[in-house]
Amino acid sequence: MHNIDIAIIGAGTAGMGAYRAARKHTDRVVLIEGGPYGTTCARVGCMPSKLLIAAAEAAEAVREAPGFGVHSRAPRIDGAEVMDRVRRERDRFVGFVVDTVEGIDPSHRLRGCARFEDAHTLRLDSGEAIHAERIVIATGSVPVRPGIFDAVGDRLIVNDDVFGWSDLPEAVAVFGGGPIGLELAQSLHRLGVRVRLFGKGGGVGPLSDPAVRDVAAAAIGADLPFDPDADVQKITREGDTVVVRFTENGLAREERFDWLLAATGRAPALGGLNLAASGLTLDDRGAPEVDPLTMQAQGSHIFFAGDVAARIPLLHEAADDGRIAGDNAGRFPNLGTHDRRTPLGVVFTDPNIATVGASFSDLSDASCDFATGEVDFADQGRARVLRLNRGLLRIYGERGTGRLLGAEMVAPRGEHLAHLLAWAVQGGMDVETALEMPFYHPVIEEGLRSALRDLSVNLGRRIDNPPRCIDCGPGA
């Protein structure tokens, strides 16, 4: 029996953050991991997906070159070489994480899958037992596999599987219009794979603003076959082929693929923990209620962090969760309430999809008195120069104060616009102060200034920063 102050289950991003924070309070800490070391981000998430997207962007740049008067042959894509680089670079990123974990004092590390025996006792599958005064659960998430896909057997894959490919397939049906489905579908399509993307319920990534969502759906749909609310009648397996029968524009269709990629979300990885023995009250998902400002579960000595907390499944949020959970586990029962950063999410499609701060649905549901400013990138100067002129940015501001509340966008280089807006929102900036900031010419960020001007007008406020460029278009 190991008698310790804090046990942390899971050595991913959240678990490592919790470990570092807990060590500031006590040396009697143990980090438990039942699987391979290396975070979800490094192994099967952020990094390998961006490596695949980078290859797709290179191929697309060659295809787009004639639009600038630069002519070359169509790109020749070697799928084996693409996937070899993805795996090599992925393994390099994973190696950094593994080195970090293995650099931890061996007496603070245990290998094995943990299971609750009672509120303070954990039993590993190795047979070892741990009595912990406080426990942090940071076991991450697992892909959801809806029963409708059972018929395809081993032709069903999830995003985790893609990065194990040694070559690119001929055809893939991607189910799920969320961030993972959008990124993988577009990148595979641009790398020469025949792809059809099936969405459900009309959703496009994390967007809730109908105007932005429609523009995003059109932008993705112009690149590859995408139905945000697909009418799928049947999915079957014939030999090594996946057959999908669906309706398109009122007509029955059938299409065959090598694989069915389920990008239908992820769920907290709670299986095997035996949380029922922890003393926590569990909902119908088998999860407890968790306070996002303390990461404490129901006033108990148990804390949750990262994807398993079912908040925002992003790496920077998981790191913050871990830091908060570990700190509060260390200082328990005298908890600290931690402010959360302004929400920020980016989908690395082309154009980028991003959300910042309060969403359109958040503000509408709260009956907040807000106004909207927008810019259409069709005629924005720098976007047209780059032939990236498609997208829509909408910013939300509070009436009366002019304070920036949030934004949703599908925009060229939106990852950078989103960061600027997130900093402005977190800093409590109002629209006039934002318009006083410097904007270089010609840059994509001038489109942000156009949206801010529009917001200022719609808030009924005075504009002290009139356009300086008279010949570069409305978004200059």
- For residue 195, how many C-alpha atoms fall within 13 Å in the half-sphere facing its CB? 30
* Low-confidence winner among 27-41, 189-203, 438-452 (lowest mean pLDDT): 27-41
What is the model's pLDDT at position 1?
82
Which residues are CB-contacts of 302 (< 8 A; sequence separation ≥ 6)? Answer: 119, 134, 135, 136, 137, 278, 280, 288, 296
Do 416 and 385 contact (CB within 8 A), yes or no?
no
pLDDT in tens, 342-389: 999 999 999 999 999 999 999 999 889 999 999 999 999 999 999 999
Please determine, for residue 413, whether its predicted confidence score (pLDDT) is greater than 50.
Answer: yes
Q: Both tokens of residue 196? A: 């059809």
Q: Is the pLDDT of residue 475 over 90?
A: no
Per-residue pLDDT tens over the stretch 231-275 = 999 999 999 999 999 999 999 999 999 999 999 999 999 999 999
Dist CA 260 CA 438 (whole Å): 48
Percent of the chain topping pLDDT 90: 89
Q: Cα separation of 372 and 354, whole Å?
A: 16
* pLDDT for the residue numbered 470: 42
211 CA to centre of own chain: 21
Confidence of residue 313 (pLDDT cuts 50, 70, 90): confident
- What the block records as the tokens of 403 is 């304070």
Cβ count near 157 (within 10 Å): 22
* Residue 261 main-chain phi, psi, to 5 deg: -95, 115
C-alpha span between 272 and 12 (Å, rounded): 18
Place of tokens 């969403």: 359
Q: Do domains 2-143+267-331 and 344-458 have the same CATH topology?
A: no
pLDDT-derived band at 404 (thresholds 50, 70, 90) equals very high
Structure-token match 């410097």, residue found: 438
pLDDT of residue 310: 82
Instruction: Just give the CATH number of 2-143+267-331.
Output: 3.50.50.60
Are the C-beta atoms of residues 127 and 114 closer than 8 Å to each other? no
Beta carbons within 8 Å of 350's beta carbon, 6+ residues apart: 57, 60, 186, 223
* Burial of 305 from C-beta contacts in 10 A (0-12 / 13-18 / 19+): buried
- CA dist 358 and 342 (Å) reads 8
Indicate the pLDDT class of residue 471, thresholds 50, 70 and 90: very low
Measure the CA–CA gap between 112 and 127, rounded to whole angstroms: 9
Average pLDDT of the segment spanning 398-414: 97
Show me where the domains of the chain are located: 2-143+267-331, 147-264, 344-458
Q: Which residue, among 5, 8, 6, 45, has the nearest Cα to 321 in the 3D structure?
A: 8
Give the range among 39-48, 108-117, 241-250, 354-363 with minimum mean pLDDT: 39-48
In this structure, the number of other CB atoms found within 10 A of the CB of residue 442 comes to 19
Averaged pLDDT score across all residues of the chain: 94
Residue type, 195: V
Residue in this structure with the two tokens 């105007």, named with its chain if needed? 211
- Number of C-alpha atoms within 13 angstroms, CB side, residue 350? 25
In three-state form (DSSP H/G/I as H, E/B as E, the rest C), the secondary structure along 232-277 is EEEEEEECCEEEEEEEECCEEEEEEECEEEECCCEEECCCCCCHHH
Residues facing residue 188 across a β-bridge: none
Q: Are strands 156-158 and 302-304 parallel, antiparallel or unpaired?
A: unpaired
Q: Which residues, other chains included, contact 89 with Cβ-Cβ below 8 Å and sequence gap of 6+?
A: 47, 48, 51
Under 8 Å between Cβ of 166 and 83: yes
Reported as a single tens digit per residue, the pLDDT across 438-457 is 999 999 999 999 999 999 99
CA 275-280-285 angle, to 5 degrees, is: 60
CA distance 152 to 259: 9
Question: What is the rounded CA–CA span in Å between residue 169 and residue 194?
Answer: 9
Top CATH class of 344-458 equals alpha beta
Cα-Cα end-to-end distance for the chain: 67
Global pTM reads 0.94
Residue among 380, 304, 312 at smallest CA distance from 346: 312
Which residues have C-beta within 8 Å of that of residue 186, sequence separation ≥ 6?
A: 53, 56, 220, 223, 224, 349, 350
Query: Nearest-CA neighbor of 84 among 56, 48, 60?
Result: 48
Over its C-alpha atoms, the chain yields an Rg (Å, rounded) of 24
Mean pLDDT of 166-183: 97
Please tell me the CATH superfamily of domain 147-264, with its number: FAD/NAD(P)-binding domain (3.50.50.60)
Q: Which helix (H) or strand (E) element contains residue 439?
A: none
Q: Are 293 and 321 in contact (CB under 8 A)?
A: no
